[in-house]
Structure 1
Amino acid sequence: MKLLSILLLLVLPLSGWAENEKQIFQLERALMRVQQDAQATHQQFLMIQELRRNEMMGSPVAEFPSATVENVPIPKYEEMMRRQQERKDRVEQYTADLDRLYTRFRALEEERLMLMEQINQLEQSTAD
């Protein structure tokens, strides 16, 4: 009977340890997913940031790729205003996309920190 009690006392902490290890493994998988999402979001952010920068820095001559400065046709006023509005709309869309991606990245970063804290707590409770 004493042997059975001693075995139970030894097995119960091991089952708790196994459960903690399982939780840690699941949290690490979730952490890896969040880190991959954050990396993809960051890459999208950088690409859109570059598109926005190019759009803002672009010159009207860039709209005529085969033209030289001397033979650039003078666009009609309506055409020029339409292109200018399209450029403005693209810059605004890029800005909105950058804001959305930044918000997403911050949310993923908060989730990552929360997961890391949970993993650390489980590892400490397992070590005790």
Structure 2
Amino acid sequence: MTHFPKLIAFLAFLLPGAALAQQWGAVGIGPGGAYGYAHDWNTERQAYGSAARGCEWDCTEIRTFFNTCAAMAVASNGGWGWGTGASRGAAESRAMGYCRQYGNGCRVRVWACSG
């Protein structure tokens, strides 16, 4: 019985952090420079909807991610790439690498991190 208060304190410490550590995000792009992003949502559907609203439902490509960072890059010819990574820089680098496979003049249009 003497360990019970310690167990409760330990669980109270862990549970809020565990809940915050598991979060969905989304990034999206559309024509004419439209973009949207979302981070730290409890469900994938919420993250997707938030990103879509951010680009006023004009995003043609939306990708979701979980507990990481993501970015989307767009080429001058409309080609694009997206990537995830443990940091903004890693996600942007991966998105740029994929974008360059489909076009030139790639630039990161949107990024976000969750979790």
Relative to the length of structure 1, the TM-score reads: 0.29
Which structure shows the bigger proportion of residues in strand conformation? 2
Which protein, 1 or 2, shows the higher relative CO under an 8 Å CA cutoff with sep ≥ 6?
Answer: 1
In terms of fraction of residues, the more helix-rich structure is 1
With normalisation by structure 2, the TM-score equals 0.31
Q: Which has the larger radius of gyration?
A: 1
